[in-house]
């Protein structure tokens, strides 16, 4: 897909992007709205039902990059009004990611999402009902990922989670609860291991979060 060796120090990010196939300025099938040119690989797939809806469907900001085999899942926004996917400007989603907007998904500007990451805004109800989980209703809750965050390769974000601006999710982590801005979380389930240097002081919940880290480590 790329021309040239991207590890070559003579290749800058700017001319590396220029080596990619041309960006699209019109939405392909299944995507409702583009705010500007975006790079969408031919192998990106969309699973959805219902009529196109520029206000409630899949909306991509300027310069979004969706690499090979990314899967966008919306469901049917006509039946489930909470279903939508909003990707901000310059969001990069690497190869093989599964991105669910069934319960609502907002990814703000300049977010990096590593290869084979799963973002899940819907799940299956497991308590009560039928013993066979596949026969039970789905559950939904929105996911929100703040500006400039980075989700490492192979991580998973579960329904109802908010990840703060500038936060880092370590590779392979499973995020089951909210992550403060500029926090670094790792593990399954993910735990806060600290904050990005030079940014933690900007977090209004810094002291509260430090106390939470102490409690988590005590009971680990």
pLDDT value for 220: 53
79 vs 22, which has greater pLDDT?
79
Of the candidates 58, 62, 61, 60, the one whose C-alpha atom is nearest the C-alpha of residue 72 is 58
Q: Which of 116, 124, 144, 199 is catalytic?
A: 124
Residue 109: HSE in the Cβ half-sphere, 13 Å Cα cutoff: 3
Q: Which helix (H) or strand (E) holds 203?
A: none
For the question of residue 199 being annotated catalytic, the response is no
Q: How confident is the model at residue 79 (pLDDT cuts 50, 70, 90)?
A: confident
CB 72 within 8 A of CB 45: yes
The angle formed by the CA atoms of residues 46, 51 and 53, to the nearest 5 degrees, is 85
CB 65 within 8 A of CB 37: no
Largest CA distance in the chain: 60
Residues across the chain: 220
Q: How confident is the model at residue 3 (pLDDT cuts 50, 70, 90)?
A: very low
**Whole-structure pTM over 0.85, yes or no?**
no
d(CA 58, CA 87): 8
* pLDDT average, residue stretch 98-106: 96
What are the Cα distances from residue 191, in Å, to 32, 173, 175? 36, 9, 8
Give the single-character DSSP code of 202.
G
Q: How confident is the model at residue 105 (pLDDT cuts 50, 70, 90)?
A: very high
Q: Is the model's pLDDT at 10 over the cut of 60?
A: no
pLDDT value for 18: 47
Cis before 189 (ω within 30) = yes
Q: Which fold has domain 13-219?
A: UDP N-Acetylglucosamine Acyltransferase; domain 1 (2.160.10)
């Amino acid at each position: 897909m790329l021309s040239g060796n991207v590890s070559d120090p003579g290749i800058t990010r700017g001319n590396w992007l220029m080596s990619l196939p041309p960006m699209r300025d019109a939405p392909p099938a299944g995507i409702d709205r583009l705010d500007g040119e975006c790079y969408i690989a031919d192998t990106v797939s969309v699973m959805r039902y219902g009529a196109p809806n520029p206000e409630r469907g899949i909306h991509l900001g300027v310069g979004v990059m969706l690499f090979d085999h990314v899967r966008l899942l919306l469901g049917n926004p006509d039946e489930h009004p909470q279903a939508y996917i909003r990707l901000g400007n310059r969001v990069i989603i690497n190869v093989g990611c599964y991105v669910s907007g069934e319960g609502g998904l907002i990814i703000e500007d300049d977010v990096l999402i590593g290869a084979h990451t799963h973002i899940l805004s819907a799940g299956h109800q497991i308590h009560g009902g039928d013993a066979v989980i596949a026969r039970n209703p789905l559950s939904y809750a929105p996911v929100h990922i703040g500006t400039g965050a980075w989700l490492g390769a192979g991580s998973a974000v579960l329904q109802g989670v908010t990840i703060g601006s500038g936060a880092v999710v370590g590779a392979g982590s499973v995020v089951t609860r909210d992550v403060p801005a500029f926090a670094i979380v790792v593990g399954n389930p993910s735990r806060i291991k600290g904050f990005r240097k030079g940014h933690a002081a900007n977090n209004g919940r810094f002291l509260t979060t430090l106390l939470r880290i102490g409690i988590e480590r005590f009971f680990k």
